[in-house]
Structure formats: structure tokens, C-alpha cells
Amino acid sequence: MTLISIILPTNRLNSNLFPKIKNIQSGLKNSKDINILTNEFIDLISYRLFGINHYLEMTLNSLGCQTFKDFELVISHRYPEDALDIVKKDWGFPIRLVREKPSIWHNLGSKYGTLCNNINTAVIHSSGKLLWRLDDLTFFNNKTLEELVNLWKKESYATSKGIRCIDYDTSKRDDQMSCERIGNNKFRITGYGWRGEDKPLAKAGTVIDKQMCWGFSSTVSIDEFLKINGHDELYDGCVCGTDMDLGYRLSMISPYNRVVTENYIYEINDVPYKYMMRDDIMMRQLWRVNNLMGNSWKPSPFQLKKYEIWHKKTQGELDPNWNKFMDVPYIDMKKEYELKRLGEVIYESK
């Protein structure tokens, strides 16, 4: 059994995204000797992005250089044909490309997100003892996996420090750095045309709240993920609180500490459109939902009406599809993990 399964959900088309990558590549030519964001940033991004032609290559480049080798990558993609040629290259580690399992939201328009459905699809087709949930558009240094494994051996889960929303603007080549606080332990760093948001969480090795299971980089065992029945697909349709919900449910059953990593995860700025047709966190507060198991419950007509009244009073008119999650089928993640019926495997390296 593989020790680590890297779970990478995506729904991007490279043709839509790559112009942004080319713009960032142009910034690398002018910044070779400048420490931006962190001391390792320029060398790392230069190596990960130089010469690539597909957005997934920056992550694949990073994984191919890891000092720890006992891992597999499982990519769940709504449009897997878009990534097929890239994953077929010899990256030096096992890759499984899976078509995201069907969702009611897929036929309702691209503005409706299906992150939980996509993550669950990848997990169903994983084989590792430890899951590392990773965003696309990410890159990182060679010892990132080694650190995650060492924490796991100490019975700790990891949540990574992150520098996200990385961008380069040729019209803003100011020759000085600035750091602006934009939230609790969150900073915007700009300089020499570059921009990024630093979220260091805390000092490396610090034990943090078990609920801080951030989606862009965090670990959990397959046993505990299945025990709480995975990501709750009732959150799909919009993006709001999916990682916090998973972290909250994990915190109720897990004996493991959650620890801040020393190594950073870097993420290029291209956030999918977050269509907020409802406030899922407030919705569940109004309903007094405190469930442990995902994908295993549905609200009553009274609860639906209660949220509808709140939303119209405070947020305005509701999207006509706001309550379509009532049509999401129940799912037994443990059973699907064992049978692997949902999600079509498009490619699997030998």
C-alpha cells in the first residue's frame, strides 16, 4: 500500500489559464537575484515554471524532485482529456487521472462549483494510508513531502504555510518591497512587479486548532476521512467553508494534533469564480446542524424555509438553484472507496 496519496482536484482548461502563466514566466527574466516573498521563491519558481506548457507541470515538476518517494498522485478532473498528454509523460512517480464523478451541478452552468464532489472522486481512487490534499497551480521545495511524513510518524497532521495569489504585473515594476497586513496573520507582499499573500499561520511546529484543515495543503488519514464520510457534497454549488467543515468534523473524532509546517506551498493566482449563491455556514447555524457524517443528511422543509426567509431579509433574492443540493444523492464513501465504481479512470501510469 502506498504511504501517501496526493489528492489534486481541478476543473481548469489550460487554454484559458496559460496566458497568465506566460505573463509570470516573463517576470522571471527580470528578478533572478531578488528575494521576493521568501528567500527561496525566485529560484524555486524559476525552476518549476521555466519552459512549461501546461499549468499542472509546475506541480508535477515539484513532485518529481521530492526526497520522499513513496507516493502516488490522483488527479480528479472535470475535463480529464485536457490533462491527458501531460500526465502521460514519465514523471518518475505513479499518476492516476480520473474523470470527476457526475454531479447535478455540472449541467446547471460553469459558475456552480463542485469541489467536494471532485475531492471525493480522487479519494475513491486513492490507495495511500495518508491523504495530502493539494491545490492545482501549486509548487514547493524538495523536502515538502518528507516533512509531512515525519509529522505523520509523530502522530500529527500537517497544515502548510502558504504564499498564495502570486502574480506578476509588468506595469508595476516598483523597485521596493512592501508588506501590508490584510487580516489575522495574513499579509500582502508586493515589489518589483510581484505580488503574493503570505499566510504563515504560526511558527513552524506549532500545534494549531484541529479544524484548520486548509484546502490548499493539509493531511488526513484515509481511515479518518472515510470515518466521517468524506467531504460533504451538500456544500457544492458554491464555495464556502468546505475545508472548515471537514476540519470541524475531523476534530470531533481524531486524536492527532495538527501542526504548522516549516515548508511553504506557493500558489499562482487564478482563483476559480466563487459564486456565492448561499451562505452555507450561516445556513447550518440557522438549522443548528452539528453532524459528524458528511453526505448523510438532508434539511427539512421547515429548515429550508427558515434559511430562505433569512437570506431574502439580509442578502436579497435567492438564486433559483440555491436548494438543488436536495437532489444530491447520499453517498457511502467507504463503500465507494472499496468498490471504486464512481469516477472513470482515464489514465494510470505503469
Whether pLDDT at 106 is above 70 = yes
Q: Please tell me the distance from the alpha carbon of residue 232 to that of residue 108, in angstroms, as a whole number.
A: 19
**Which of 95, 58, 53 shows the shortest CA–CA distance to 77?**
95
pLDDT tens for each residue of 279-337: 988 998 999 888 899 999 999 999 999 999 999 999 999 999 999 999 999 999 999 99
What is the pLDDT at residue 32? 66
CATH 3.90.1170.50 fits 4-16+42-158+208-263+276-340, yes or no: no
pLDDT at position 292 is 92
Q: What is the DSSP letter of 202?
A: S
First to last CA, the chain: 15
Closest CA to 285 of 312, 303, 302: 303
* Number of alpha helices (DSSP H) and beta strands (DSSP E) in the chain: 11, 13
pLDDT-wise least confident of 46-55, 140-149, 268-277? 268-277
**pLDDT at residue 272 greater than cutoff 70:** no
Q: What is the mean pLDDT of the chain?
A: 93
Share of the chain above pLDDT 90, in %: 80
State the pTM of this model.
0.96
According to DSSP, the residues that pair with 322 across neighbouring strands are: none
pLDDT at 123 over 80: yes
| Cell numbers at 348, concatenated | 494510470
SS (H, E, C) 141-172: CCCHHHHHHHHHHCCEEEEEEEEEEEEECCCC
**Sign of the CA dihedral 128, 134, 138, 141?**
negative
pLDDT (average), residues 105-131: 95
Which tens digit of pLDDT belongs to each residue from 161-199? 999 999 998 776 677 889 999 988 899 999 888 999 999
Domain-wise residue ranges, the chain:
4-16+42-158+208-263+276-340
